[in-house]
């Protein structure tokens, strides 16, 4: 999969995530940007596991949830109300029990990949002003939670066994 150079505006969400993480005193072992040499592999594996690559256009991850593969199991959408923190708490509950205490991947639609625990991920997401789509993935790529910021909802999708 070919990755394009990120537009300048995509750095806004990265800078914001880094600043929020520092301001909250989150240690790097709990949440950090994924290795500079491995992020492309994470995005590629996400794309080929969850997306219909015949429909996926280019390397942008914005609205990639529109191209999820046929045959994935899906939850009912979780809708955002007036309280974003309560919404993200409900979204966090979509994480299967066996993965709740494991490091997860967070892929932002601007192409940034992070690794961290649910507690830290969900403490940052409601405060990211430049957030668009976010994909929270299991460490074994068995499931993904897609948050669509302008759609104000999230859905859990899983690979069927």
pTM of the model: 0.90
Per-residue pLDDT, 84: 86
Per-residue pLDDT, 67: 85
Reported as type and span, the H/E element at residue 144 is strand 143-148
Reported as type and span, the H/E element at residue 12 is helix 10-23
Q: Which of 51-55, 97-101, 112-116, 120-124 has the lowest mean pLDDT?
A: 51-55
Residues 38, 29 contacting (CB under 8 angstroms): no
Q: How far apart are CA 89 and CA 78, in angstroms?
A: 11
- Interval 47-100: pLDDT, tens: 999 998 888 766 678 888 888 999 999 999 999 988 888 999 999 999 999 999
Per-residue pLDDT, 61: 86
Per-residue pLDDT, 160: 83
Bridge partners (DSSP) listed for residue 51: 68
């Amino acid at each position: 999969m070919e990755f394009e150079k990120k537009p300048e505006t995509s750095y806004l969400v990265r800078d914001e995530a880094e600043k929020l993480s520092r301001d909250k005193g989150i240690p790097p072992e709990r949440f950090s940007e994924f290795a500079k040499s491995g992020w492309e592999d994470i995005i590629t594996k996400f794309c080929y596991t969850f997306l219909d690559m015949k429909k996926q256009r280019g390397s942008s991850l914005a609205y990639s949830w529109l191209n999820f593969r046929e045959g994935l199991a899906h939850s009912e959408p979780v809708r955002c109300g007036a309280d974003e923190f309560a919404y993200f708490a409900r979204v966090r509950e979509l994480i299967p029990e066996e993965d709740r205490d494991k490091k997860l991947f967070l892929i932002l639609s601007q192409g940034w990949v992070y690794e961290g625990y649910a507690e830290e991920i969900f403490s940052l997401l409601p405060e990211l002003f430049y957030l668009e789509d976010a994909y929270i993935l299991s460490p074994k790529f068995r499931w993904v939670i897609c948050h669509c910021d302008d759609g104000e909802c999230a859905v859990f999708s899983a690979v069927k066994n």
